[in-house]
Chains A and B, each alone.
Chain A
């Protein structure tokens, strides 16, 4: 299973990939991850690759070869939609974070992206920020999306919880567990 996680630097794509990385051995699969550190982490467009299979070579997902695209921000989901395989799963947070060219007026934020993604890619669109705020921590958007994806992909919530336990600091475990369940129920 190839899972592409896209979002804006600072949204926690690295944690999401770490959780999926820890999920792979639970599912009995080999895994490779690829991340972006450095400059793009400063509010830029970030892409993280997770590849699980019996044997994985390239750690980078090819365009058109993602079984799932998890988008933490809707424009980023739209930007990377060409990675999704036909019939693949796409989970999109409807949150809009305006990029600087839009803030400065040099570009316009495209309209109705969530609708386009639903129609074009069969995307499941969720307001993960609202869900994260509901459980009292806006920074858990990443885990909410993961939970939502797990339900659609038929991954047992308990398996993902086990992977979560290996991935976050103890003091952040409870809130992330709640976020995971919240996402699973969306």
Chain B
């Protein structure tokens, strides 16, 4: 049976069919849907872990215990999971271990454009890179074969266009796999220096073996490498080397070119590429982000062109390829139009908090999530955003560098706090900091589309579980002043921020109200009455439902959810609910 599947859905299906027993993840665009979909398969244990490091370790544990396991994350999540990743390369696996990492060229929903292939090479791990949904499913199966044949974790790298693209995929049946009996093996799994020295030798041999096998030599181990790396000869004037979604762009932009398609992005079949290079007049490497292939070709003395023609920044496209190689200029976009950046939703519980912080002219060390949008005008409340959990550590650094500056706060969401804010908070307390931390608790992982986390008290399958109590946790970290305020209580928030920043020591303010998209309140929309003096105070909160048209303030009824925040800001009582 064929189905139109999202790349992420195809990966989930591939895991199901490959007999995966354990799947773990922390949500991160563009990888989130994989584990969401897997949670619907009864045969697979799945979980949202608190962060990618824990998720990786849980999957590694399951693999060592003898079952097929996988862990999914976005590219920056791999940084969090890098510690176990690098050493799991040494231990190898029990049952197959697949690490799915989604890169985001063009930064649709990310803070940087890092290229996972470099991390894979640094960790000495093979990387597969599918170019459509059908391949994504097939490569999951191949990844597990490689993982078990070569005793290694395998990375499946996707990019946003693959993860969030849909194409037709053949659906198959699940093949159950017997649990590989666990045998204690400290030489393989206890990575103290004496053992790790021996394993490092194994790692190098493994990657050499795999490279030789891809090149058609060495021990083949019954893996169909032709499904991964394939060559199509057409016009031999131009030969293109590419992988992943870029292959699809190349096929459309240059239908007559000869193409070397890499399904395995690392290690490279260098000798086969050398032969391909000899058979074409000009070898051009087309790859998104870094010159990963190009550098390896050049190190191996294979002449080619790559980044002199294409940028390291952003995505590639059919038109970019046509322009670079055929000189065909594409129609330019109209950049003179007003942009449309994302905004906090109408009724978002974070809005009032940022309004207060902006009004009090606080320096705000922000974090990753919906509330990153508090940085945008007119709230413009956020000073820094770097990575998950960074806000707390950075606010602590501010307070140590500038002890007299009392108006620095950290702002972090509930899910992000659990992900990697807790250790920052402990640092503040332990090192006698003076930081005030605001936890914006909207009781979900918002930006990635509402996933449960330890403080929601529900598992990925919506089963009841022990609910992490944030107040108790903060107190246990040694925070003496923990204040909880309703996120829509503007006066309460203002009072708490003033008091807690004035207080010596570390404070936590928990601003709590569930995400509006979960609450879906059906209150009547508010409206502006004739008492309006056009002072525009209500426009300062950046609510997408309130607009000023021809000097007339208006609340768009189809967008207003009736949260009433604007009413609190109107000094003239001109905003009315029903």
A interface vs B, CB < 8 Å?
Answer: 8-10, 21-22, 24-25, 30-45, 56-60, 62-65, 75-76, 78-82, 97-110, 129, 138
Contacts and interface: CB of A to CB of B under 8 A. Distances in A.
A31 B288 CA distance: 24
Contacts of B319: 62-64
A104 B166 contact: no
Given A62-B319, A75-B337, A78-B337, A39 B342 contact: yes
A58 B252 contact: yes
B240 to A, nearest CB: 13
Shortest 6 CB-CB contacts between residues of A and residues of B: A38-B109, A38-B29, A107-B338, A44-B342, A99-B340, A33-B166
B199 interface: no
Contacts of A34: 161, 164-166
Contacts of A41: 342
Interface of B: 4, 6, 29-30, 32-33, 108-109, 132, 161, 164-168, 245, 248-249, 251-253, 317-319, 322, 330-334, 337-345, 370, 373, 376-378, 447-449, 539, 542, 544, 546-549, 558-559
Given A100-B544, A103-B544, A42 B343 contact: yes
Given A37-B449, A109-B338, A59 B161 contact: yes
Most buried by B among A33, A38, A65, A101: A38
B109 A37 contact: yes
Contact of A58 (B109, B318, B542): B318
Nearest to B28: A38
B377 A60 contact: no
A31 B376 CA distance: 37
A39 B447 CA distance: 6
Contacts of B344: 42
Contacts of B108: 36, 38-40
Given A31-B4, A58-B249, A36 B164 contact: yes
A22 B5 CA distance: 11
Contacts of A37: 29-30, 32-33, 109, 164, 449
Given A32-B132, A59-B245, 10 more contacts: A25-B4, A31-B166, A32-B167, A37-B29, A41-B342, A57-B249, A60-B161, A98-B549, A110-B337, A129-B558
A159 B448 CA distance: 34
A43 B339 CA distance: 12
Contacts, number: 171
Contacts of B378: 100, 103-104
A19 B74 CA distance: 28
A17 to B, nearest CB: 8
Contacts of B331: 63-64, 82
A75 B544 CA distance: 15
Given A39-B29, A58-B318, A100-B544, A9 B342 contact: yes
Given A34-B164, A62-B319, A103 B340 contact: no
Contacts of B29: 37-39
A24 B168 CA distance: 11
Contacts of A57: 248-249, 251-252
A60 B338 contact: no
Contacts of B376: 100
Nearest to A100: B343
B562 to A, nearest CB: 15
A40 B109 CA distance: 7
A106 B252 contact: no
22 contacts: A9-B342, A22-B4, A24-B4, A35-B166, A38-B30, A42-B342, A42-B344, A44-B342, A44-B343, A56-B167, A58-B252, A59-B167, A60-B249, A60-B317, A62-B317, A63-B333, A64-B330, A78-B334, A97-B559, A99-B338, A104-B378, A104-B539
A63 B373 CA distance: 29
A80 to B, nearest CB: 8
A25 B168 CA distance: 10
Given A33-B166, A57-B251, A59-B165, A43 B343 contact: yes
A8 B340 contact: yes
Contacts of A60: 161, 165, 249, 317-318
A114 to B, nearest CB: 15
A108 B167 CA distance: 39
A103 B337 CA distance: 14
Given A58-B318, A60-B317, A104 B338 contact: no
A139 to B, nearest CB: 9
A44 B344 CA distance: 10
A106 B449 CA distance: 30
B4 A101 contact: no
Contact of B341 (A36, A38, A65, A99): A99
Contacts of B165: 32-35, 59-60
Contact of B377 (A44, A78, A104): A104
Nearest to A32: B167
Contacts of B322: 62
Contacts of B544: 43, 97-98, 100, 103
A36 B108 CA distance: 8
A25 B30 CA distance: 27
A58 B338 contact: no
A101 B377 contact: yes
B338 A32 contact: no
A38 B110 CA distance: 9
Contacts of A59: 132, 161, 165-167, 245, 248
Contact of B168 (A31, A80, A98, A109): A31
A27 to B, nearest CB: 13
A33 B251 CA distance: 17
A69 B253 CA distance: 21
A39 B377 CA distance: 16
Contacts of B448: 38
Contacts of B164: 34-37
B442 to A, nearest CB: 13
